[in-house]
Each structure stands twice: as C-alpha cells, then as structure tokens.
Amino acid sequence: MSGSEFRRLLARRSFFSKLGVGLAAGGAAVGAGTSAAQAQTAEAGRWQPVRHAQDDWLDQIPGKHRFVLDTSTPEGFGNALAFLNNYFNANQSAYSLQDSDLAVVLIARHLSTLFAYNDTIWSKYGGPITQRTNFNDPKTKQPPAINLFNSTTYGASLTNRGTTLESLLKRGLHLGVCQVSSRGNAGAIAQATGATADAIYNEMVANLVSNARLVPAGIVAVNRAQERGYSLAVVA
C-alpha cells in the first residue's frame, strides 16, 4: 500500500469513528430527553383527588397527625369513644403531644348518627329513635331519655367504658354527621309523632353536639378524609 492510500484509509477510519461517537452521543441525548419527557408526562398524569369546598373543614382542623374513625352502629360509636380516649392519652404519655397536635374526626352514620345529637332530641324522641336503632337503656330496658354516651353513670355497661362524648369534644374531637341518615331519622320521628319531617330535621340540626357538623353522607366524608391525609379506623 502506497503512502497516499494509507493516509486515505486513516482519514476514512477517523471520519467513521467520529460519526459513531456523534450518533452515540445523540442517541444518549435523545434517550435522556425521552426519559425526562416521560417522567414529566407521568407526573402530570398522576391521579389526584378533586378538592371540593364543602370538605375544606377537614383541612381547617389543626394537628400533626390526622385520624378518622368510621362508626355505623351504637356499639361502634361507644367503642370509638373508648379507643379515642386511649388515642389521646397514649399520644400524650408516649409522644409528649398535646391534644391540639391531633386532628381527630369521628363519623356518625347509619345507626350511630343520632348519638351526635344532644339530650333535647333524646328526651323528646327516644321512643322513635329506639325503634330504628334497637338501642335501649341497659338499666331501665326502656328507650333512652338522654344521649347515654354523654352520661358518666353507666360505666362498663356501655361500650364507651365511661368515656363520654363531651369529654372528647373538649379535647378537640370533631364529628361528621351523616345528613342522609339524619333526614331518614327525621322522617321516621315525624311519622311517629305526627310532625313534619322538615320540622323535625330543623330541630335536630339545632341540637347537634358541639364540634359536630352535617356532611352530605357519612360514607362520603370517610372517603374525603382519607383523600386529605387522614388515616382510617372502622369501628364496629
């Protein structure tokens, strides 16, 4: 091979070598760009729950920890009160947290709904309420004339084990009260008493316990609370 031919061969090899490096670098750039684009697309497409103004109250409860309890029976409502007493106490003793550090919501729905109402409702409508809940006073075996979960005189005979609703409300507990169930109860009470359902419902709304609010449906409030960072316990 002549010197001129050898120089041409070297030139061709140098050209293809540079071309290969360029293609590799371009491919890497395209790959990196594609990965970034895919990541951005995936991030942009990541599912997020839609926020609704009527659920904003869940974010307005201050706290370092968020906890929601779902109850649908009288027994479950009482158990939830007993468990929440433990929850507040353990966070205080083991973690040095204050009650105000805990955002806690108790959902009252289905057969537990009426325990979110005060003694005014129970004293007037204990009979019709018991027809729906089958929950009698364990002492008298008669329909309750008060909200028994706000009484300190029943002790171990009820599932709350002496922890009253009022004592937890004072510690910062909030209640989400099922509107669907409340209207159903109002209709049943109205039928039993000859009043109108709207009149009974309005009376009930005026007699919610403190820190309680009506939510469109208890089961919806359970969902919305979880979407806003509340951990869930279902209490039976």
Domain parsing of the chain, residue ranges: 1-47, 53-235
* Residues contacting residue 177 through CB under 8 Å, at least 6 positions apart: 108, 109, 113, 116, 208, 212, 213, 214, 215, 218
CA distance 128 to 113: 14
* pLDDT, tens digit, 9 for 90 and up, residues 91-138: 999 999 999 999 999 999 999 999 999 999 999 999 999 999 999 999
Two structure tokens written together for 19: 């071309």
CA distance 217 to 67: 18
Q: 197-234 b/e with 16+ CB inside 10 Å = b?
A: beebbebbeebbbebbbbbebbbbbbebbbebebeeee
* pLDDT, tens digit, 9 for 90 and up, residues 146-204: 999 999 999 999 999 999 999 999 999 999 999 999 999 999 999 999 999 999 999 99
Q: At what angle do helices 119-133 and 197-205 cross, to 10 degrees?
A: 120
Confidence of residue 44 (pLDDT cuts 50, 70, 90): confident
Fold of 53-235: Hypothetical Protein Ychn; Chain: A, (3.40.1260)
- pTM for this one? 0.82
